[in-house]
A and B are shown apart, each in its own frame.
Chain A
Amino acid sequence: MNKSIGKRAVTKIVLHIVFILLSLMCIIPLLLVVSISVSDEMSLMLEGYHLIPRQINLDSYRYVFSGAGSVLNAYGVTIFVTVVGTVLHLLVTSMLAYSLTREEVVHRKAISLFVFIPVLFNGGLVPMYMLMTKYLRLKNTIWVLVLVMLVSATNVLIMKNFFRGIPHSLIESARIDGCGEIKTFFRIVLPLSKPSLASIGLFVAIAYWNDWMTSSLYIETPRLQTLQYLLQSLMNNIGYLQSNSKASRSIEMAMGSLPSEGARMATCVLAIGPIILLYPLLQKYFESGLTIGAVKE
């Protein structure tokens, strides 16, 4: 008895040590980013990067906030797009994925192929741009930000896989009780799929949150710019100026006064921060969806 308890305790400790090490490997680089963002620019130049900043100085953040105009507005736009986009995406994707697991749908193999092909074949940026701006007239609207990532063939296929794990008997019993297919989906299947919905949902939310490219291509009015784009453009201007300083002496003169290293890291911190806050909120959904006793075989 004692031996097995001891053994269990050892495995437990080892388990935790492994995870603590892994977690550190993931967290420490992030700490480096934060540290650089609050370091004094000159000390960075002269002494290099250190985990603990040699000289603390919030100039980088001041620069980002002052140069970034309406950061608050950008936060608003990004939050709206992320929330609406994620919810719609999950809805659309799960409905499609679920239907593809049901045998009633005779042509589901063909439809799956239809869904899969775009994963590999892509017409490129030019036709997409034409579609969005010329034919759909979505340039400079908030919907283009939501639309571009509204459906993902990969997610459909992954979700399809998760839905297959729902025991058919549960669905059957709901049908016998008189539930329509659609109602069954919303009342029974979805609640049981919380872990997969939460996982995919998290990734979709991150994709929306981090997306700056859509903004840079389709949005020209400052009022609709997303947070990431605002921060990115600040950074890009610095980077771009650096590599093209020969274009004009003005730029070369301006270069000397920009806090580039620290500012880059500051934008990164501002970009990631909210995501890290979002994660704990989603925690409860990651729990197991199937409870004991739900199925009496």
Chain B
Amino acid sequence: MEKVDTKIEQVITKTRLGKLKKSIKKQIPFYIMMAPGLFLIALLSYLPMPGIIIAFKNFNPIDGIFGSPWMTPLFDNFRFFFISESARIVTVNTLVYNAVQGVLVTVCAIALAILLNEVKNKRVSAVYKGAILLPTFLSWIVIQYILFGFLSVDRGIVNNILDGMGKEPIYWYSEPFYWRIILPFAYLWKNVGYYSVLYVAAIASINTDFFEAAQLDGATKWQQIKHITLPLIKPTVIVLSLLWVGKLFNGGFGDWNGFYTLPNDSGALYSATDVIDTYVFRSLKKINDYGMSAAVGLYQSVVGFVLVLISNTIIKKIDPDSALF
């Protein structure tokens, strides 16, 4: 009895071990390819990561990150943000602007990508693509100058036009309301080129055979879009959306400079233009406290991470391959 058991065991182990060896051998080329990337991520992102503990420390440069004493009470660096009266307003602003951006940019970028695909003349479509990409190259400071050139009270182009029509000048930089429209539009203008190029690439990778077959079957353009294009770029939409979800609590999904620069740092507009990051930046400019700014950053990261974990789990149930991890 025993002999048979052990022999069976030996057979099983042999195949298992064999399989293991074989699978490792298969993976080697991939691990080689992944090595530089993983090494760099470990070096550049994980090595400095312990710096996060600054959020919990009473940091001073002589003792450094690890030597500085812990904050007492531990969460004191977080206090200033959460007890501030503006915490609610800026959080709402952050979330609302991000939600609007997410939807707006995705819809417009996909629409533009599809339309670009329809332009048959390659040269012309290239020109169009280049044109909508231009705003991506500009930095927010430059965009602010341009905007100022349009909206300046006494020298701006818009008010000059209004003046020519006999109307009163509008004080663009004193009315919060306008900015609830200006800011999303500015971000859309700047980012739609980038995302539509991504979606164009996504559409380009769809096998043209599908479209041919559909046309032969008599499908209209709209039907083709609805049944071929959109479903096949869904993975791209999901990946980008998941990345955004992680940054939901970060102003402008991380690119908060626009919220700070465009309104010219005008106090009257804060109720509409302040997001979490601009508020923190302004409050801490004078004191230069690394601990407090690290604390808010950590809060944003943790919340974002939880949201991504939840979303990712949901996506796994629907379309497992599209999940981030």
Partners in one complex: yes
Answer whether A123 and B50 are a contact pair too, CB < 8 Å, given A112-B325, A147-B44, A182-B33.
Answer: yes
B131 touches A288 (CB 8 A): no
Task: Tell me if B281 is interfacial: C-beta within 8 Å of chain A.
Answer: no
Task: Give the docked Cα–Cα distance between A32 and B189 (Å).
Answer: 16
B119 touches A15 (CB 8 A): yes
Task: Give the docked Cα–Cα distance between A181 and B27 (Å).
Answer: 9
Which of A96, A120, A150, A167 contacts B207, CB < 8 Å?
A167
**Shortest distance between the CB of A181 and any CB in chain B (Å):** 4
Binds B, one of A216-224, A248-256, A264-272: A264-272
Task: Tell me if B176 is interfacial: C-beta within 8 Å of chain A.
Answer: no
Interface residues in B238-283 (C-beta closer than 8 Å to A): 239-240, 243, 246-247
Task: Give the docked Cα–Cα distance between A247 and B223 (Å).
Answer: 67
Task: Give the docked Cα–Cα distance between A109 and B122 (Å).
Answer: 39
Beta-carbon nearest neighbor of B128 in chain A? A19
Fill in one digit per residue for A188-213: 1 if any B CB lies within 8 Å of its CB, else 0: 00000101101100110010001000
Fill in one digit per residue for A116-130: 1 if any B CB lies within 8 Å of its CB, else 0: 111111111011101
Which of A115, A120, A166 contacts B305, CB < 8 Å?
A120
B145 touches A162 (CB 8 A): no
Task: Tell me if B6 is interfacial: C-beta within 8 Å of chain A.
Answer: no
Task: Tell me if A295 is interfacial: C-beta within 8 Å of chain B.
Answer: yes
Beta-carbon nearest neighbor of B64 in chain A? A130
Task: Give the docked Cα–Cα distance between A156 and B51 (Å).
Answer: 24
Task: Give the docked Cα–Cα distance between A116 and B111 (Å).
Answer: 28
A99 touches B202 (CB 8 A): no
Chain B: number of interface residues, binned into ranges: 35 or more
Chain A: number of interface residues, binned into ranges: 35 or more
Task: Tell me if B169 is interfacial: C-beta within 8 Å of chain A.
Answer: no
Task: Give the docked Cα–Cα distance between A18 and B43 (Å).
Answer: 47
**Shortest distance between the CB of A35 and any CB in chain B (Å):** 9
A118 touches B235 (CB 8 A): no
Fill in one digit per residue for B202-215: 1 if any A CB lies within 8 Å of its CB, else 0: 10111111001000
**Shortest distance between the CB of A88 and any CB in chain B (Å):** 9
Which residues on the B side are within 8 Å of A18 (C-beta)?
A: 115
Binds B, one of A23-31, A57-65, A66-74: A23-31
B145 touches A33 (CB 8 A): yes
14 other A-B residue contacts (CB within 8 Å) besides A49-B155, A114-B38, A182-B29: A15-B118, A23-B131, A29-B146, A32-B149, A95-B37, A100-B34, A112-B324, A120-B247, A123-B48, A276-B130, A290-B205, A292-B208, A292-B209, A297-B209
